[in-house]
Chain A
């Protein structure tokens, strides 16, 4: 009987991506609801307050809600998904296959991102129409949008498997979301925030995601985009490195 070698990483990724993509069979309603309806309500509600503050404030409402959906919904989905995998015993199934943890997380994250794309377009177009904002989508959006979804993916998976129950993991995820959304100019323009909160915002990937998204969907592009994409890429690399080093799918 022969012992086989593990698959090359790209083939591992493709298989795991397809396995994770099959989640649409049960999860598409949930994804559509949280991915479309909640951000649209957020835009409607905050937009009604921001309308009298001008186009700049409205752009923060649109982009802030997109960041919320893209970055935090994505992280939230990965938290619940990995917490579910742990509770259902599926993590044991993956842990006993010759695959890399980071590849599984990258595959899960990519699959959820693909599943979220239709909602993203609906929110982007619907939100711009509701707020009467003119979109100037640059082709760099094709790079920036995935960069905005991935920075917290590794952290999401780590939180998902680190807590005893899915409820505990989700609560930690929500707390993290609220913290990162409230610091920095994500939903609210910087001129309406105290200086210390704006400075604190430089520590949150949401600030960079919001800035990058604003430039590629509303324009204009500036050198700030280079800083934003570098920081977001760094967050992705650090996140996956941490997961590879710290995430232990063995129980205690």
Chain B
């Protein structure tokens, strides 16, 4: 773990064992998040990502270890996290009886904005997340994607210096997902907001992540800058092949493709295998191919 003096969050040897279970959901996790950083948590389902962030926002009691925010244990003062962190939970249905507009106003006001600021904040967030058309709709009647955008807006209400977002792009259409990542990047760049998020959307998230933690079976399998981690896989390249499903290409002996879809394979190659592989493939049977270096998704797949 790097020693980083301007840490906002310091997680140290964090272990969580749920009552009645033998396997820890989090096992000895340690890392720091620096002020103004975008920190992405990746991992398989059940890897312990939500458990980890719930302990960071003091919603879950750790079995062992500590979580410090600005150098103070989060359990020490019940208002420490709420005053500094905007949290978006994984469950989207939390403000059922309010309208979209009311939910944003009350959240801003309860985060300490005065009435005028809260009204301005509501308008800013309606605009930012394109929620104007549904501002008078009751939250319980929103679609899954609209609920998710509202939760994102509510987490940002009052402009807290830290955002913790549990799968912010779940249930969103691709263009909305892109909008989320762009908005978060702008929020980080313009206001210096520290952003910690969980995602499965590794390809899109790669554009904004500055530090990544990859969780596997409750343990932190990898931690660092994506570029540094990717260097470990740098000799590995991705060859994506698209072809008619009824006539798959022949690959050199020893290469095993990963089937992404019908007529769409991914082959991982070492640099010295590239020439031989491309020569061996009958390009007449290929509709399209793409050779690229390792991505964040490859890192995720490699470590999990």
A residues touching B (Cβ–Cβ < 8 Å)? 1, 3-7, 11-12, 15-16, 18-19, 22-23, 25-26, 88-90, 92-93, 95-99, 249-252
Contacts and interface: CB of A to CB of B under 8 A. Distances in A.
Contact of B110 (A5, A97, A250): A97
Contacts of B102: 19, 22
A150 to B, nearest CB: 22
A26 B161 contact: no
B79 A96 contact: no
Contact of B193 (A1, A26, A92, A99): A1
B82 A99 contact: yes
Interface of B: 18-19, 54, 57-61, 79, 81-87, 89-91, 93-98, 102, 106-107, 109-113, 138, 140, 154, 158-161, 191-193
Contacts of A99: 82, 110
B79 A98 contact: yes
B94 A88 contact: yes
Given A93-B89, A98-B110, 19 more contacts: A5-B112, A6-B79, A6-B83, A15-B106, A22-B97, A25-B138, A89-B91, A92-B87, A93-B94, A93-B95, A95-B59, A95-B82, A96-B85, A249-B59, A250-B59, A251-B59, A251-B60, A252-B18, A252-B60
Nearest to B99: A22
B8 to A, nearest CB: 12
A4 B82 CA distance: 10
14 contacts: A4-B83, A6-B82, A22-B97, A23-B97, A25-B97, A25-B138, A90-B96, A92-B89, A93-B95, A96-B57, A96-B87, A98-B82, A250-B61, A252-B61
A19 B106 contact: yes
A97 B102 CA distance: 16
Contact of A1 (B58, B97, B138, B159): B159
A6 to B, nearest CB: 6
Contacts of A90: 94-96
B158 to A, nearest CB: 6
Given A1-B159, A6-B83, A98 B94 contact: no
A98 B93 contact: no
A4 B91 contact: no
Nearest to B103: A19
Contact of A89 (B19, B60, B89, B97): B89
Contacts of B79: 6, 98
When A and B form their complex, which 8 residue pairs have the shortest distance between CB atoms, in order from nearest?
A4-B112, A89-B91, A98-B82, A22-B97, A96-B87, A90-B94, A93-B94, A1-B161
B109 A15 contact: yes
B157 to A, nearest CB: 10
Contacts of A5: 83, 112
A25 B141 CA distance: 12
A137 B19 CA distance: 53
Contacts of A249: 59
Contacts of B140: 26
Contacts of B83: 3-6, 98
Contacts of A98: 79, 82-83, 110-112
Given A4-B113, A12-B110, A92 B98 contact: no
A96 B83 CA distance: 8
A6 B98 contact: no
A91 B35 CA distance: 28
Given A98-B110, A251-B54, A88 B98 contact: no
Chain A CB within 10 A, most for which of B60, B85, B110, B113: B110
A3 B58 CA distance: 18
A97 B82 contact: yes
